[in-house]
Structure 1
Amino acid sequence: MSDTVSVEIPQGSLNGRVLDEGGVLFAGIPFAQPPTGALRLRPPQPPRPWAGVRDASDFLPPPPQNAGLSLPPDTVCSEDSLHVNVWTPDVHGRRPVMVWIYGGAYETGSAAPPVTDGQQLMRGGDVVVVSFNYRIGALGFVHLAGIGGQEWADTANLGLQDQVAVLRWIRENIAEFGGDPDNVTVFGNSAGAGAIGCLLAMPTARGLFQRAVMMSPPIGRIYSPATAEQLATQLLDEVGIHRPEQLANVPVEHILTAQSRAVSGDLGARALPGGRSWGPVLDGIVLPGMPLQAVEAGETADVSLLVGANRDEMLLFERFEQPDITPPTADAVLADMAATVGQAAARDLWEAYQVAEPDGTPARLRLRFLSDYIYRIPASRMADAHIRAGGTAHQYLFAADLPGLGAGHGTEVALVFGGHKDPANPLAQVYARWPGSDQLSREMMAAWTAFAHSGDPGWTRHAPGATDVHVFGADGPVAEPPVTTREPWHLATYRRTVAETPAGHRPADGLAQTDV
């Protein structure tokens, strides 16, 4: 048996690698031209064809990013990163396609192992798994339109534009890899799920996917043009230039250093009113509206949703607290909450969190609030709004008590991919100490791939207000939000995450005033 398999696409011939346990990998396929030189900070351009047969057996580097927990310390990054990877059981047939969009706060991430490995999901679910790199940080989300004039009007949200480009590539090419271009499911965690929310609101992405799995979606973390322009101006100041076109010649290392200095302090502050970071911008062209607004208007009713969050989202970040940062006081936390959801709701939520966790410090209760505000409530409201607009949705809650982490942010991702015990996974020892990890991984993989096949992950469709939220890792089903905080969240008055909207669009609240 040959150790390679060949396919032909319009760009040219590809040789993929036959995997030891079955299936074929095609890695490092360009879906756009390298965004370097004159194409840096410009929309993705169609890939160029190649002569001969291209070796697609090895993964290529992820996009430039600062060192962090997402990648092994010796990882080499490159601006020439717009590549797609395909894991397929067989190049013949028409299987459901699952397209992974990595998270990482729009600043880190990789489409390659050990961060992303589609082997187990591909084999276990008889699906074609696709991953790809997209631009992140300032290179993917710096907003130059306001400070650079009309010449830069089409350069907003380059990371999102990369995602649309790869979805078009999949539409045109995936049949050659054994995938069904009419049965595409996008799935992503954290920023990846937030990006899916944006794709739902983007006319250019319409019709390119039929199902979406949103795992902990921060759909309210979208910045106004004014905030994004301030961030862009500071980036230019940090690297010592005055005009956007000069960024084309700035060493990428200088851009990475400068982008870290320009953002708000912690992950929570970035999502609160006044916060800023790299991420989607409501520019009115690439992203014309907020995700929840698009869902409420019925624009996404033809896309089936599987949406959920983790019980203890932000508590994971307690492990990475900086010792030189003074812990917040109760008054400071309440002030942040009031600025976000209104005084009355803030007071009621604070009391509810204190009852649920009487020994919780102000810092701990702040993390409880942020977990709900950034992830759990958006997931719940997205599901409710989609149902009310005529769509179908299933909702879940990840609630496994992983040792030392609980159901922290992102702890379910390795279970969904079946790579939870891979020694390269930084949480492998945590999963090894939790006796239910193997069974839970099988359950989540089965649910995700069943949803890709049929739109049904295996439990009751969601109905607003019903106790139908499937629970992974604990008893269920449950209602979301929990009874203890349902009424305060129902009363919450959201301050606008986006300060102003482009002409022709109604004001955009971070989360709409729908019932919870």
Structure 2
Amino acid sequence: MSLSAATSPSPENETGIETDGPAAGAAAAGAGTVLVHTGAGVVAGQRAGRLSVFRGVPYAAPPVGRLRFASPRPPVPWSGVRDATAFAPESLQPIIPGSGEDSLYANVWTPATDGSRPVLVYIHGGGWMVGGGSLPVYDGARLADRGDLVVVTFNYRLGALGFGLHEELADPETGDFANWGLQDQAALLRWVHANAAAFGGDPGNITVAGTSAGGASTWQLALLPELGHIIRRIVPISACHVWDPSTSLTPADSRQAYELLARRFATTVPGLREVPASALMEAWEELFGGLPGERAVGSGREFRGPVVDGRWMSAFDWELPTPEVPILAVHTRTEGSFYTGPCPPQPTPTPPPTDATELREAVRGVLEKGMAKVSYELVDACITAYREAAEADGLPQDPLSLWTEIWGDALFRYQIMRLSERHARQGRSPQWVMEFAQPVRAPHHGTPHEATSPFLFGTYADTAAIAATYPVPESTPLFHDGPQERAVSETFMDLVAAFARDGVPAGPGAPEWPVFDPERPSTLVLGGERIARTATTSKLRQLRFWDESGWVPRP
């Protein structure tokens, strides 16, 4: 779940340049300007090297005023030429100064505005609470250039404004009353489909990728029938597949949460549309602050993603069939080290355990993210299972390593792998599975959750970009910068670009990669001891604990 302390400048919405046609607009806007006619009006981007870049292009109307808690509306048309050279603010969130409600904008990198290239839409992560498509780590230039792709990033509504449910917030036009951020993502895909050709993209060849919360979104969107003609294939990376009480609110708890907010502000639930956005965000953060067992609301104990509403999410991923589009599923080797490393994202991080007693309490803290009452018998069974698996596989058994593995498997890798195995047995489309194994620099350890994004976008060596996106100081680089890292990044880009182009991941730096089959070595291990190799997915033995623990649903 990527975090950020970056600040994006507020864009000027229009240049004020009135044009009679593209040539007049180009001359008025100046050299290096590239004009594109979108469905809502003309935008002026910039030619930078071998790419044209468009920033802050509206894909929906601002979700403010009466449109707060409403389904996204089409962008408001404009006359003249709209400046598209500056990023829009990120969606309202507690950690980025300048973020705000008026945030439904897209960014496009394209080699040229003519032609018909594959389109890669990337959905940022951040636990459905933070993040933005304009963060520097997601700069699409290198990926668009190397892969000959049209790359699109964007913002969507977050937190209380993006993911929740209450029938009194029903949209009078659509009847929808939940999951506004997921609705934004669907609106973005419809906008991309309608406007891809203007940016040099093929509207019939759209691949959706994303990491963490964004990885889960790729899966959820692919299950929506109305997007079946738009989404050609998906790349879920470290997907945080939601379930309650860990990463989603129950409908009842969501209703209670909005009613508690309404009481706090002495208004009704619909009246929350009139509460200042910053005050609403702060109250939501306070409602879910502190330890899970101390909150008024019992679910949403770690994150608060989409709520089962019968429309945008009919059920959790583990309860539904897998998507019927080609899938390239990625997980990191050590998902949990994002949380147990020296710079974890939690406001009050748990100190790393150093002995058996501290490990017991640390593991109990992990298990409390998905269960109201955790017995020490379950804690001990979990530690024993992981220690035995580590011994059998020749892996470290120190408290920090065991805690890291338990955390990463519980929230991410268990459901990722079990869903991949189920798709291999029952799915109707080809699937490839990648284990990303490129290690970080000390004092960071392992291959953390979200270590993939800097290598997919080629920004791993930009220490300022990494520090602006991850909870690490710029003075302590997260990644090495050498021939190995360059080769891993280029191979990752090549594989995803090939998958986006024709549905088969391949590249000069990778061996032949077979469709995933749990019964044979078919996982591509990218990074680590070698650049790329096919092997059996590592650390499967330790996943067996979750099959029978009753802690997380088994897909």
Give the match for residue 156 of structure 1: 178
> Partner residue of 1:478?
535
Q: Decide which of 27, 42, 45 is 2:73's aligned counterpart.
A: 45
Match of 1:386 in 2: 423
Question: Deviations 1:132-169 (Å, cap 9, x if unpaired)?
Answer: 11001111113222x66797951200000000001011
In 2, the alpha carbon distance for the partners of 1:264 and 1:481 equals 35
Rounded to whole Å, the distance in 2 between the matches of 1:274 and 1:267 is 8
Q: Structure 1 pair 16/248, CA: closer, same or farther in 2 (3 Å)?
A: same
Give the conservation status (yes or no) of the 8 Å contact 1:268–1:370.
Answer: no
The 1:484–1:41 alpha-carbon spacing in structure 2 relative to 1, beyond 3 Å, is: same
Partner residue, 1:449? 497
Matched residue, 1:502: none
Partner residue in 2 for 1:499:
none
The question of 1:5 aligning with 2:42 is answered: no
Q: 1:447 Cα shift?
A: 1.1
1:346 aligns with 2:382: yes
Q: Is the 8 A contact 2:70 2:171 kept in 1?
A: no
Distance 1:217 1:345 in 2: 26
Kept in 2: contact 1:103–1:193 (CA 8 A)? yes
Partners in 2 of 1:456 and 1:268 — Cα distance? 46
User: What do the CA deviations read for 1:75-127 (whole angstroms, capped 9, x no partner)?
Assistant: 42121111111111011110000001000011111111414211110000000
Describe the SS at the equivalent of 2:44: strand
The number of residue pairs the alignment matches comes to 483
Is the aligned partner of 1:437 residue 2:493? no
Match for residue 455 of structure 2?
415
Q: Distance in 2 between matches of 1:439 and 1:190?
A: 24
Q: Aligned letter for 1:53?
A: V
What is the CA deviation profile of residues 14-36 of structure 1, one whole-angstrom value per residue up to 9, with x for unaligned ones? 222111x2110122111111001
Distance 1:439 1:148, change over 3 A: closer
**Given the superposition, is the C-alpha separation of residues 335 and 279 from structure 1 closer, same or farther in structure 2, using an over 3 Å criterion?**
closer
2:16 maps to what in 1?
none
Cα deviation code 1:19-78 (max 9, x no counterpart): 1x21101221111110011111111011121111212222111111111xxx5xxx4212
Aligned-partner SS, 1:365: helix
Inter-partner Cα distance in structure 1 for 2:35 and 2:180: 32
State the partner residue of 1:185. 207
Cα distance between partner residues in 2 of 1:465 and 1:242: 58
> In the TM superposition, what are the counterparts of 1:72-471 in structure 2 within 5 Å?
75-145=97-167, 154-220=176-242, 221-237=247-263, 239-263=264-288, 265=290, 275=301, 277-296=303-322, 300-301=323-324, 303-318=325-340, 319=342, 320=344, 329-330=359-360, 333=363, 337=367, 346=382, 349-352=385-388, 355=391, 359-361=397-399, 364-387=401-424, 388-403=426-441, 404-426=444-466, 429-432=477-480, 436-458=484-506, 459-471=513-525
Residues 83 and 132 of structure 1 are in contact (CA less than 8 Å); yes or no, is this contact kept in structure 2? yes
Aligned counterparts of 1:370 and 1:231: Cα–Cα separation in 2:
27
Whether the aligned pair in 1 keeps the contact of 2:333 and 2:447 (CA below 8 Å) is: yes
- Between the aligned partners of 1:347 and 1:421, the Cα distance in structure 2 is 37
Q: Report Cα offsets for 1:352-399 as digits up to 9, x if no partner.
A: 3563655522x6533311211221122222222223222110001111
1:26 paired with 2:54, answer yes
Tell me whether 336-345 or 407-416 shows the greater mean CA deviation.
336-345
Does structure 1 conserve the Cα–Cα contact (< 8 Å) formed by 2:383 and 2:402? no
What are structure 2's unaligned runs of at least 5 residues?
Answer: 1-29, 468-473, 507-512
Which secondary structure does the structure 2 equivalent of 1:123 belong to? helix
TM-score, length of structure 1 as denominator length: 0.85
What CA distance in whole angstroms lies between the structure 1 residues aligned with 2:79 and 2:69? 28
| One-letter identity of the residue aligned with 1:257 | E
CA pair 314-324 structure 1, distance change in 2 beyond 3 A: closer
Residue type of the alignment partner of 2:109: W
- Residues 180-220 of structure 1 deviation map (CA, whole Å, 9 limit, x = unaligned): 11110111111100111221233333322111101101113
Pair 1:17 & 2:54 matched: no
- Residue 471 of structure 2 corresponds to none
Identify the residue that residue 5 of structure 2 maps to in structure 1: none
Shift of 1:265: 4.8
* Maintained 8 Å contact 1:402/1:430: yes
**Structure 1 gap ranges (5+):** 497-509
TM-score (normalised: structure 2)? 0.79
| C-alpha distance in 1 between matches for 2:213 and 2:51 | 29
Q: Distance in 1 between matches of 2:146 and 2:293?
A: 36
Which amino acid in the other structure matches residue 158 of structure 2?
I
**Aligned partners of 1:241, 1:207: CA distance in 2, in Å?**
45
User: What is the alpha-carbon root mean square deviation over aligned residues?
Assistant: 3.1
